[in-house]
Structure 1
Amino acid sequence: MAGLSGSTWVLRWADAEGTESMSYLQERLVSGFHAQLSDRWNVKTRLFRSTHDYATMNMDMSTSNDADQNQDKKSNEGPHRFLYLVNMSHIVPPRQFAVLTFPGPGGIWNQRVIESDVEIETIMSKMKNLWVPRQSAYIEGYSYNLGDFRVHLGTMRVGSGYKGIILQIDYLPCNSYIEVNGIMAEFVQMLLPPNARVDTNTGIKFEDANLSSNMMTDRHTALQYINLFTKLHLL
């Protein structure tokens, strides 16, 4: 079961300029807020896509060869399922979460989040007839302790492409995502430059993924990463 992590915001500083912007944030945290460097921080996300169109798999199969050929063609079209593996190596011990995205009735996309074994990526990579590996996102940076806050920041790359700086901000005293919105927004405003272009996770509905909207866990954090990446078409 996913453990409690306080209340967490995951966001992107979209127009950050790599090393220069990372140095700015680190200087701001240490000199401006007197934060303490804790450890290195890494998050890896791997995307797999199903090879079948699950919307057509339950259709009655015709006995004719033509119908079989048409069905085979349809199996590579239409809505597929997507599986995202979110590996959080900064948690001790490291943990991995699987976020499954699949089409539901009326064209609505559903999501489910479970904690998965770290070996699942190796298993998925061997099931290429069912799941095709797609892109991978890597975030590498540092963690800082600052009173009631824990701040993680790192540069994000998808393949070799730089995608800005990702920040994960944990507010430890409270597990309610809604109740800390004001505190989080104020902290982000103080931390980042006034002209920074920030992509946030506003509007995410945890209950749609069968997660509590009041009590956050690490599964909520994993879903925030996927929500941010898919909303911005980063993965």
Structure 2
Amino acid sequence: MPLKWLLYWQTNAGTSVNTQILAEVTQCVESINTVKGGRWKNTLNYYRANTRDPSTANQADFPRDLMGITLQEQPDKYYFIIHSQRIVVEADTMIPMIMEKLQSYRSRVSINFEGFQYKLGDFQLRVGKMVPLNQDSLKGIVMEMEYLPISSLDKSRHIMEEFLDMWQEIVSRRSLPGRFMHIETNFAEYGLPDHYTSHHSVVQYAAMMNHLLSSGRN
């Protein structure tokens, strides 16, 4: 599958993300002769083990926290990531309903990443907002930068870096209070190959969210 980098908007000190920045970023994308496509949406859930459940309470190696993700590119799959153990698991989309019935894990927070996608030559760009489920409050801005011809992480690095530099220059002309950031992720820690898969996308979303949580930006 095509390779992608996940970017997030990092605000300058003393400022916060808002809808005006999102609108300006969207205008930047539309100003470079992109072709606007349909909407896109990914959803992330944080799960906490139900310690009152006898099946989980007395197992020291039972994951206390799970992160579940649905990706638009794989609508019939549901992904779990256990960050502390560097494990990514692929499951059926029915698994959240089963977990809810078993009450072994409870969903603590649900976050949607949603917006529009754009085509620019060999690149597919997805720009969107990060909002908690059933809320309108904007918590962040994300961008998926996808290169369609290549799926090798190593072979595509130079092309992706050049495109990111070009994109940063375009955004900088707007003098916005912040910039897009890309987190370098060690996919080998999760046993993932050089060939890009949806598991790589899951790891990138988890790495981004862990960074935002630790820095208090979300």
TM class by shorter chain equals: 0.7 to 0.9
Contact 2:129 2:138 in 1 (8 A): yes
**Aligned-residue offset at 1:229:** 0.5
2:25 is aligned with 1:25 = yes
Residue among 122, 137, 150 paired with 2:124: 150
Residues 167 and 177 of structure 1, relative CA distance in 2, 3 Å threshold:
same
**Aligned-residue offset at 1:174:** 1.5
Q: Secondary structure at the residue paired with 1:189?
A: helix
Contact 1:97 1:219 in 2 (8 A): no
Contact 1:97 1:222 in 2 (8 A): no
2:99 is aligned with 1:124 = yes
Q: Secondary structure at the residue paired with 2:66?
A: strand
Match of 1:201 in 2: 183
Contact 2:7 2:182 in 1 (8 A): yes
Q: Secondary structure at the residue paired with 2:145?
A: strand
Contact 1:7 1:177 in 2 (8 A): yes
After superposition, what is the alpha-carbon deviation per residue over 1:63-103, rounded to whole angstroms, capped at 9, x for unaligned?
xxxxxxxxx7xx599984322221123x2x6243322316x
After superposition, what is the alpha-carbon deviation per residue over 1:11-61, rounded to whole angstroms, capped at 9, x for unaligned?
201337433223223322222x21101110111111112235xxxx9xxxx
Residues 112 and 46 of structure 1, relative CA distance in 2, 3 Å threshold:
same
In structure 1, distance between residues paired with 2:152 and 2:206: 20
In structure 2, distance between residues paired with 1:88 and 1:48: 17
Contact 1:99 1:111 in 2 (8 A): no
Q: Which of the two has higher C-alpha Rg?
A: 1
Match of 2:80 in 1: 99
The TM-score, its normalising length taken from structure 2, stands at: 0.79
Match of 1:229 in 2: 209
In structure 1, distance between residues paired with 2:99 and 2:68: 10
**Aligned-residue offset at 1:218:** 1.2
Residue among 160, 163, 173 paired with 2:139: 163
2:192 is aligned with 1:211 = yes
In structure 2, distance between residues paired with 1:167 and 1:41: 11
Structure 1 unaligned spans of 5+: 58-71, 103-108
The amino acid that maps onto 1:14 is Q
In structure 1, distance between residues paired with 2:181 and 2:5: 11
The TM-score, its normalising length taken from structure 1, stands at: 0.74
Q: Which has the higher helix share?
A: 2
Runs of 4+ aligned residues of structure 1 deviating over 6 Å after TM superposition are: 76-79
The amino acid that maps onto 1:135 is V
Residues 226 and 96 of structure 1, relative CA distance in 2, 3 Å threshold:
farther
After TM superposition, the structure 1 = structure 2 runs for residues 71-90 of structure 1, keeping only pairs within 5 Å, are 75=58, 80-89=63-72
The amino acid that maps onto 2:180 is V
Match of 2:200 in 1: 220
The percent identity for this pair of structures is 25
Corresponding residue pairs, total: 201
In structure 1, distance between residues paired with 2:21 and 2:164: 15
